[in-house]
Each structure stands twice: as structure tokens, then as C-alpha cells.
Amino acid sequence: MITIVQTLRLWFAPQRIGEEGETPDYRFSLANERTFLAWIRTSLALVGGGFAVDQFLPDLRWGVRVALALALLAAGVLCALRAVNHWVRCERAMRRGEDLPVSRFPTLLSLAVAVVAVVMVVVVVFGWAG
Amino acid sequence: MPPPVPARDPGLQPERTRLAWRRTTLSCTVAAVLAAKQALHQGSSPLALVAVTLSGLVWLGFLAVAHRRIQTLSGGARPRVLGVRAALAAAGCTVALACFAVATLF
């Protein structure tokens, strides 16, 4: 709980990052920024996938379609929030000269995407066969 | 004697970051177009018009954030670090589009 509050304070009081440690090489900050943008693109793609499931698979049963769309959209939202969080934490670690934070989020996200993909394949194959 | 600051980064880091912003803007455009299509799909009720306007505003917001950042990155060989506010705005646009999708699902 305390860590959540601290993280939120870090998000909304950016000058606090600048007070800590030393400014890292600007190239590292730019690399961190590009990683952040790559995650935002992933997030946008997931959100776009959510829209696409709803629009381009109208033959699916309502429940399946909404569940798939919701799973993709939820993954998109989590991905965007986590992108900001990871970017702030990396920036802080670089200023402090610590190791970069590790995360199990990529694994969880790829597992979630794999599950959605398998469900889609099953639904499309058996839905259209039956 | 310290080495002189080069006029341009030999690794083209600012350029690469600028292009990353452009790619992200394109992704945002695709998502916003899908959002508008979704809204129009429901018919041209006042609610759908509001929805299209909102997704357009979200897209414009993202465009503004990206444009400002691209301007900063074009400024010189040592651009300033991305601000937390810009990062939050970019993520916020994504979350807004997702919330918008959830609202139109039902």
C-alpha cells in the first residue's frame, strides 16, 4: 500500500525525480523514452484489437465477443499504466545508479495474449464449423 | 581539456526517438479511427456524434503531446528528458480510448 502511494506521488510530482541522484547520460534517458513508447504502441495495438474483435467478428456469440474484447482492452489499459510506471522507475534507478528494475509483466502479458489467441482460433474454427 | 560537444549525436538518438513518437502517433491514429468507426456503426444518434467528437479530441490531445516532444527533440544535440506530464498524457490517451471502447461494447 505504501509503495502504491509512493509511486503515485512520483507520477504526479515529477520534480521529485530530479532531486535524486545525478542526471544520467541523455542517451540512456532517450532509450528509456523509446522503450516507453514501444509499450504505449503495444497498448494501443491491444486497444485497437479490442475494437477490431467487436467490429470484425459479428458472427460470434455476444458473450464470447464481449469477453474477448474486454480481455484485450483490459490488457491494453494495464500495459499503458505499467508503461508509465516502468519508465519512471527506470529513470529513477538510472539517476540513483541502481540496477534497472526487473519485471514479470512481459511474461504475464505474453501469456494473456497467447490465451486470447488460442480462444480466438478455437472459436473461429469450431464456431464456423458448427 | 574536455572534448568539444558535437553538433549532432553520432548515434542519432534524438532522431530515433522522434521517429518512435511518429510511429506511436500512427498507432494512435489507427486506434482513434477504429473508435470513430465503432461509434458511427451504432447509428448517427447524438450519442454517437458525442463519441466521435471525444475520440477525435483524444487523438488531437495525443497529437499535441507528440508534436511538442518532437519539437523539443529537434531542438539540438542534447534534448531535455521527457517530462512525467507528457508521459502521463500519452498513457492517458490510450486509457481513454480503451474506456471509450468498453462504453460502446454494451
Amino acid (one-letter) located at B42: Q
Distance set, CA B73 to CA A39, A68, B10, B32, B78 (Å): 20, 39, 15, 25, 8
Looking at chain B, list the stretches that DSSP marks H as alpha helix, in order from N- to C-terminal side: 13-41, 46-74, 84-105
User: Is A13 a member of any domain?
Assistant: no
- Chain A residues with CB under 8 Å of B55 CB are none
Evaluated on CA atoms A13, A19, A25, A26, the torsion sign reads positive
Vertex B21: Cα angle to A32 and B30 (nearest 5): 125
Number of domains into which chain A is organized? 1
Domain ranges of chain B: 13-105
Q: Chain B: residue nearest A73 by CA?
A: B98
Contact A20, A96 (CB under 8 A): yes
Helix (H, G, I), strand (E, B) or coil at B82: coil
| Mean pLDDT, range B35-51, rounded to an integer | 79
Min Cα–Cα distance to chain A from B92, Å: 8
| A2 belongs to a structural domain | no
- Model pLDDT for residues A38-91, shown as the tens digit of each residue: 999 999 999 999 988 888 877 778 888 888 899 999 999 999 999 999 999 898
ipTM surpassing 0.90: no
